[in-house]
């Protein structure tokens, strides 16, 4: 890649791959989660992710490109980590770990969409800029919901009795 336009298209393909991979991973997270709130959060994020893929289709179309993904090692690593948690952790550690894994994915997406949005603006892709801004706002909102869930519920372990 020698130009911002090439980097933009490459990163767009990367995030397209990532979003599609996330749609395959989230049902497993929802199934493994013990907390009803975490299950619901994973299911809601799955539906949002499907809508985001439709917006990415529009971004590609607005640039005269066919939607296509390019293997994303980062998202594959994050999903592999979550898979490991599902097979090794239990109880509160499972839900806390899954929530943390979901947030790691959100942070990755926020970083990618933040860059993509600004590159779209700089390259004069106004429609892409608008759509990517909408996705970025959704990702930030999801991260905030996950943080709230962690603070108010999931990460609150059962109190330990102190010795008398």
Rounded to the nearest integer, the mean pLDDT of the chain is 93
The domain defined by 4-154 folds into Ferritin (1.20.1260)
- What pTM value is reported for the model? 0.91
Query: What gap in Å lies between CA 132 and CA 86, rounded to an integer?
Result: 31
Percent of the chain whose predicted confidence (pLDDT) is above 70: 95
Residues 105 and 139: beta-carbon distance below 8 Å: no
- The SS3 of residue 30 is helix
Q: If you average pLDDT over residues 14-43, what whole number do you get?
A: 96
Sorted by where each begins, the domain ranges of the chain are 4-154
Q: Which residues does 13 contact at the CB level (< 8 Å), separation at least 6? A: 68, 69, 70
- How many degrees, rounded to 5, is the angle at CA 100 between CA 99 and CA 101? 90
User: Nearest Cα to 119, choosing from 11, 2, 1?
Assistant: 11
31-79: pLDDT as tens digits: 999 999 999 999 999 999 999 999 999 999 999 999 999 999 999 999 9
pLDDT at 163 over 70: no
* Least confident residue range of 28-42, 48-62, 134-148, 150-164: 150-164
Rounded distance, CA 66 to CA 54, Å? 13
In sequence order, which residues have a C-beta less than 8 Å from that of residue 2 and are 6 or more positions away? none
pLDDT score of 158: 47
The torsion of the CA quartet 48, 24, 58, 13, rounded to 10 degrees, works out to: 130
């Amino acid at each position: 890649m020698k130009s911002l336009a090439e980097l933009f298209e490459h990163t767009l393909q990367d995030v397209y791959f990532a979003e599609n991979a996330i749609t395959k991973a989230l049902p497993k997270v929802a199934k493994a989660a013990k907390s009803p709130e975490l299950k619901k959060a994973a299911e809601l994020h799955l539906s949002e992710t499907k809508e985001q893929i439709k917006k990415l289709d529009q971004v590609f179309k607005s640039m005269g490109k066919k939607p296509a993904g390019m293997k994303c090692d980062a998202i594959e690593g994050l999903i592999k980590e979550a898979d490991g948690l599902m097979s090794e952790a239990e109880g509160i550690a499972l839900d806390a770990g899954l929530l943390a894994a979901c947030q790691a994915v959100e942070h990755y997406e926020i970083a990618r969409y933040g860059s993509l949005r600004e590159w779209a603006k700089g390259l004069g892709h106004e429609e892409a800029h608008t759509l990517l801004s909408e996705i970025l706002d959704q990702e930030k909102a999801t991260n905030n919901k996950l943080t709230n869930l962690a603070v108010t519920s999931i990460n609150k372990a059962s109190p330990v009795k102190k010795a008398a």
